[in-house]
Structure 1
Amino acid sequence: MLSRRALLAGSAAALLAGCSSPEPPPPGPSAVPPPSRPSALTEPVTVQRMHSAARGTDVDLVLITPSGVPAAGLPVCLALHGRGARARTFLDLGVPAALTAAVRAGTPPFAVAALDGDHYWVNVGGADDPQRMLTEEVPGWLTGRDLRPPSAVFGISMGGFGALNLARANRDLKAVATASAALFTSWPDARSRKVFDGEANWRACEPLLHTGELRPAGLGVWCGESDPFLGADRRLVQAVSPELARFSPGGHKDGYWRGVLPEVLKFVGERL
């Protein structure tokens, strides 16, 4: 038989469970399926669920355009999120308002396209290849919405790793920007992330081992001075001499990324 104390404890637990707050809704509008035929954008922010054959799964395609500016024909900057985040993270970081503010301040208008990715935006040996999604599938998704194919890329943390790899394979990109790029100076460091399919896979992908394939023109590098990747990002700057390198107070966190976002968007827009 249950004691009075056990009954009271169980009742309290049930009450707490019944009163717990539901999980908050994701930022931005609800995702909608892709249109059955090409359709121009009509809202500054849209979220659509797309099936990526390259990744073998459905992903969010988040499209952001400056408020009050016609979307048709705009150039596009891809936005690659960090590990554990998702495409909607760029809505949390305030990209819609920051992009509109940049354009109203004189930056030429452009669109931002964020996708769901994983494992540093490269193929690490499985069937999930986010880099192939970016190069083979995303251009068609954008032109179907009356936007231009991507001509720039911005990546945060893991997304910075992916952005630099995308730049290696697409040297005609007009702007490449990274914030707190997650780069690895040694195999033990990379191995600790439990992402790469062995040392050879990491060596083939690590931007620091292929700096000769990166163009200084149009490359911007931002990193906080308290960021754990500061040393690796400084090594990138020393090897490539990018057009812009900015090291300022801040860590590997949202507050730092929100702070540099206006400068990043201005840098990208002026080169598109």
Structure 2
Amino acid sequence: MLSRRGLLTGSALALLAGCSSAPSGPPPGPSAVPVPSGPAPLREPVTVQRMPSAARGTDVDLVLISPEGIPPSGLPVCLALHGRGARARTFLELGVPAALTAAVRAGVPPFAIAAVDGDHYWVAVGDEDDPQKMLTDEVPAWVQQRDLQPPSAVLGISMGGFGALRYARAHPDLKATAVASAALFVSWPDARARKVFADEANWRAEEPLLHPAELRGADLGVWCGESDPFEGADRKLVNAVSPAVARFSPGKHEDAYWRGVLPDVLDFVGRRITPAG
């Protein structure tokens, strides 16, 4: 297990790694299309639309991904939450469309993925930007307008892992929660170093490690690289919650590791999100 000093150092370095790096170059995927004026079922496996979010006080990308060759109408939906400094389109860069199609062709029940732009660990930190409110109050209507089911699962990478666990606390009826390299903090000094949370009380209210009783281990999957700076914190989560899946394998806090575990993550979500029968 990492020492406190080692975790603090690693957490700082993680700002510069993988999904924590700022996007560069043109955005991946198709160009954003106008917001539909009425119900508009999906026609392509990948669509990007700019949506006005009152909860966040800004427009955000809504990236919808469905398996190729599968009619998307009526599919269950898994939210996908990106890491710090990344964006919804990051899941296109990570190869989620191809991985989802491959998973379904291998026998995983089909489902769709909805990714949106977030920030500051996917929680409100005292201003008028509240990503959790967007996920709860706005995204369900956005996906239902496209003839998809309301979100019933969530996956998150790095900062998105923190956000996914926070979302799961507020939505105990979720069928699956999956986190990879979840950016969790074992102490206030560690969290304060990220310069995100308004104060210690704000962090304590949001930190998943401080609210294990609000997480359902039977529906949770945790993946983390053995060389990830958050490994110690993620092991603490596993010890506190006893998730259905806990896999620590060689890897760092970087895209290569997340691409490697993505098939396992999608299999975990897909086999839980679709009703039996």
Q: Deviations over 1:107-146 (max 9, x none)?
A: 0000000000000000111100000000000000000000
Matched residue SS, 1:47: strand
Matched residue SS, 1:90: helix
**Aligned alpha-carbon RMSD (Å):** 0.6
Q: Which amino acid aligns with 2:98?
A: A
Matched residue SS, 1:79: strand
| Pairwise CA distance, 1:32 | 1.1
| Cα distance between partner residues in 1 of 2:222 and 2:77 | 19
Query: Normalized against structure 1, the TM-score is what?
Result: 0.91
Aligned ranges for residues 94-243 of structure 1 at < 5 Å? 94-243=95-244
| Pairwise CA distance, 1:25 | 2.2
| Cα distance between partner residues in 2 of 1:26 and 1:205 | 31
| Cα distance between partner residues in 1 of 2:60 and 2:150 | 18
Q: Highest Rg: 1 or 2? A: 1
Matched residue SS, 1:228: coil
| Cα distance between partner residues in 2 of 1:139 and 1:257 | 26
Which residue of 2 is the match for residue 85 of structure 1? 86
Q: Deviations over 1:39-63 (max 9, x none)?
A: 0000000000000000000000000
Structure with bigger RCO (C-alpha 8 Å, 6+ apart): 2
Q: Deviations over 1:213-253 (max 9, x none)?
A: 00011100000000000000000000000000000000000
Q: Which amino acid aligns with 1:175?
A: A
| Cα distance between partner residues in 2 of 1:189 and 1:164 | 18
Matched residue SS, 2:51: strand
Matched residue SS, 1:217: helix
| Cα distance between partner residues in 2 of 1:61 and 1:89 | 12
**Structure 2 segments unaligned to the other structure (5+ residues):** 1-23
Matched residue SS, 2:60: strand
Q: Deviations over 1:157-213 (max 9, x none)?
A: 000000000000000000000000000000000000000000000000000000010
| Pairwise CA distance, 1:24 | 3.6
Q: Which amino acid aligns with 1:125?
A: G
| Pairwise CA distance, 1:261 | 0.2
| Cα distance between partner residues in 2 of 1:166 and 1:101 | 27
| Cα distance between partner residues in 2 of 1:257 and 1:199 | 30
| Cα distance between partner residues in 1 of 2:197 and 2:34 | 32
